[in-house]
């Protein structure tokens, strides 16, 4: 039954109100009813696509844009963006290239095309297309934000920071601009600016779920003497281990730190003197103030020169010694759900040249996983305390950028870490050591994806270790190499 003119207008206004009120799925339902009555209404079709995008219904966006305008540049733009959201970068690239071919002045299409090239690991093309979007629309903040990210990935930190500072000047409340600036500043070693900007993570859509507003005042770094400070862990397990180094400082100043964290970490972190740990999902104890854990370096005014606990801050107890003359613990992968796992975790076969060596025995530090040539640990890796007991009995740890690297460093145990060309901010750039952990040595990709070169360098370093001896952590290597 055809809608009357009044009913049609009423439904249309209702749909617009629902869109305004951030209720896109309901708006889409009404707009579908309208288009069933009048399929040619372009404004209703455009708002339906807008509603579907808002609802995250990207497969439906592809259907609608294909049926409505196969070669229309605006429809190609939305369709390509939907392919990108569905993790189909090749289809997104081809579709968005069609959009800019038909409308070379479509700045948003150039921007999204640039982002797709980043997904395809072509950073040069990504940067070029973002610059094109900025030239077409200097006020397209997202183009500056994306370019800042790409420049950071390329290691061009000075330009990245300038681009992002300009974006923030134009849009002071743009969360992603502040977040990308935090990453660039931290990677450059500017911890003061970096951790100040890092507070914007609490508004970032990727991390927002980690934060809850707890009752009571937020601890601002004032005198904690005689007070109980609840520290709420966030993000990954490696982050919790890395920033646990600040808890003894709280205790040394007369405070009582209580860390709310993942249960698998509790037996490990409660070995730190003065620290109590409990599950973050359970009932919380009485406290005087609270703070998110990764805000601690900000309130303590941390710089590269003042990072605490670099020699290790988790007590090392006698370990379970694996039989063999040279025993190396291997963590060849981390959490596959990590947002950057495809870059930080090498293909498993890349380790074959190391595992073929008859001089060394390799022991798994990855729970519930098997890699040919790697033996299981003597005990089950049920939690991080158990893993720590294994690490304490090893000659060396070799790990990708995952929590095992942080655990070894926090224990002051020698560990070598494989890093992608564009590393996480905490590893800085162009150095083989880290101010966060004195016992770690870093092995970096010389170019994106160049894992064979990393393995070759590790093999050479193992030969050096045979020459200099295996006692004393990395000190022998450091003495020989400055």
CATH of the domain at 453: 3.40.50.2000
pLDDT tens-place string over residues 214-242: 999 999 999 999 999 999 999 899 999 99
Same domain, 388 and 438: yes
Q: What is the reported pLDDT for 10?
A: 85
**Whole-prediction pTM:** 0.91
Give the closest residue to 133 by CA, choosing from 119, 116, 120.
116
Bridging pattern class, strands 396-400 and 327-331: parallel
Residues 371, 452 share a domain: yes
Domain count, the chain: 3
Judge whether 343 and 401 are in contact, CB under 8 Å: no
Asked if 83 and 136 sit in the same domain, the reply is: yes
Note the Cα 427 to chain centre separation in Å: 13
Are residues 241 and 287 part of one domain? yes
Least confident of 13-27, 139-153, 265-279: 13-27
Residue 311 domain-assigned? Answer: no
Give the pLDDT score at 307.
98
Gap between the terminal Cα atoms of the chain: 83
**Co-location of 347 and 263 in the same domain:** no
Residue 155: partners with Cβ closer than 8 Å, 6 or more residues away: 422, 429
Confidence (pLDDT) at 473? 46
Judged against a pLDDT cut of 90, whether residue 383 lies above it is answered with: yes
- Residues in contact with 223: Cβ distance below 8 Å, sequence separation at least 6, in sequence order: 253, 254
pLDDT tens column, 332-361: 998 777 777 788 899 999 999 999 877 889
Number of residues assigned to the chain: 482
The answer to whether residue 468 is domain-embedded is yes
pLDDT band (50, 70, 90) for residue 133: very high
Would you state the torsion angle of the CA atoms of residues 266, 474, 462, 326, taken in this order, to the nearest 10 degrees?
A: -60
Residue 322 pLDDT greater than 80, yes or no: no
Please report, for the domain that includes residue 96, its CATH number.
Answer: 1.25.40.10
Decide if pLDDT at 479 tops 60. no
Question: Is 474 inside any structural domain?
Answer: yes
317 assigned to some structural domain: no
> Is the same domain home to 244 and 359?
no
Q: Is the pLDDT of residue 477 over 50?
A: no
Q: What is the pLDDT of residue 343?
A: 85
Please tell me which residue, 464 or 169, carries the higher pLDDT value. 169
Tell me: pLDDT of 9 over 90: no
Separation CA 32–CA 48 (nearest Å)? 7
Q: In what order do the strands lie in the sheet with 361-364?
A: 361-364, 327-331, 396-400, 415-419, 440-444
Strands of 310-369, DSSP E: 327-331, 361-364
Does 72 lie in the same domain as 135?
yes
Residue 403 has pLDDT above 60, yes or no: yes
The CATH number of residue 219's host domain is 3.40.50
Per the domain annotation, does 307 fall within a domain? no
| Mean pLDDT, the chain, integer | 91
Please report whether residue 452 resides in a domain.
yes
Domain that holds residue 343: 327-481
Q: How confident is the model at residue 36 (pLDDT cuts 50, 70, 90)?
A: confident
If asked whether residues 82 and 170 sit together in one domain, one would say yes
- The domain boundary, picked from 151, 181, 203, lies at 203
For residue 76, pLDDT over 50 is answered with: yes
Q: Which of 203, 228, 244 is the last residue of a domain?
A: 203
Query: Do residues 343 and 474 both lie within one domain?
Result: yes
Which of residues 259, 280, 299 is at a domain's end?
299
Judgement on whether residues 289 and 161 belong to the same structural domain of the protein: no
């Amino acid at each position: 039954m055809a809608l009357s003119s009044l009913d049609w207008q009423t439904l249309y206004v209702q749909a617009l109100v629902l869109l305004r009120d951030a209720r896109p799925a309901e708006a889409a339902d009404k707009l579908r009813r309208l288009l069933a009555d009048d399929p040619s209404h372009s404004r209703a079709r455009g708002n339906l696509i807008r509603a579907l995008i808002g609802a995250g219904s990207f497969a439906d966006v592809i259907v609608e844009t294909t049926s409505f305008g196969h070669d229309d540049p605006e429809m190609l733009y939305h369709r390509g963006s939907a392919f990108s959201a569905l993790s189909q970068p090749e289809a997104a690239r081809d579709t968005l290239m069609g959009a800019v071919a038909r409308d070379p002045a479509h700045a948003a299409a150039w921007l999204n095309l640039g982002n797709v090239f980043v997904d395809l690991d072509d950073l040069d093309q990504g940067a070029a297309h973002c610059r094109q979007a900025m030239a077409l629309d200097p006020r397209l903040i997202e183009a500056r934000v994306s370019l800042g990210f790409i420049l950071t990935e390329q290691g061009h930190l000075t330009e990245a920071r300038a681009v992002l500072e300009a974006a923030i000047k134009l849009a002071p409340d743009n969360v992603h601009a502040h977040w990308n600036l935090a990453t660039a500043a931290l990677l450059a070693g500017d911890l003061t600016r970096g951790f100040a900007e890092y507070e914007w993570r609490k508004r970032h859509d990727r991390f927002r779920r980690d934060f809850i507003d707890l009752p009571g005042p937020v601890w601002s770094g004032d005198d904690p003497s005689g007070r109980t400070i609840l520290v709420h862990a966030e993000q990954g397990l490696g982050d919790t281990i890395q920033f646990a180094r600040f808890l003894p400082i709280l205790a040394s100043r007369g405070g009582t730190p209580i860390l709310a964290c993942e249960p698998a970490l509790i037996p490990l972190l409660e070995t730190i003197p003065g620290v109590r740990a409990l599950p973050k999902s359970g009932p919380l104890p009485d406290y005087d103030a609270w703070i998110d854990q990764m805000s601690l370096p900000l309130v303590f005014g941390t710089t590269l020169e003042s990072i605490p606990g670099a020699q290790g801050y988790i007590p090392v107890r006698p370990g379970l010694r694996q039989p063999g003359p040279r025993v190396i613990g291997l963590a060849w992968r981390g959490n596959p759900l990590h947002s950057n796992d495809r870059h930080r975790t090498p293909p498993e076969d890349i380790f074959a040249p190391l595992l073929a060596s008859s001089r060394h025995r390799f022991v798994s530090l990855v729970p519930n996983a098997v890699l040919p040539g790697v033996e299981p640990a003597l005990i089950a890796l049920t939690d991080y305390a158990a893993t720590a007991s294994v690490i304490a009995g090893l000659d060396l740890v070799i790990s990708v950028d995952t929590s095992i690297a942080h655990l070894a460093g926090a224990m002051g145990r020698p560990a070598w870490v494989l890093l992608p060309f564009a590393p996480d901010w905490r590893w800085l750039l162009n150095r083989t050591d880290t101010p966060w952990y004195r016992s770690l040595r870093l092995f970096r990709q010389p170019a994106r994806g160049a894992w064979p070169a990393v393995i070759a360098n590790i093999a050479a370093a193992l030969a050096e270790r045979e020459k200099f001896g295996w006692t004393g952590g990395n000190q022998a290597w450091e003495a020989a190499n400055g």
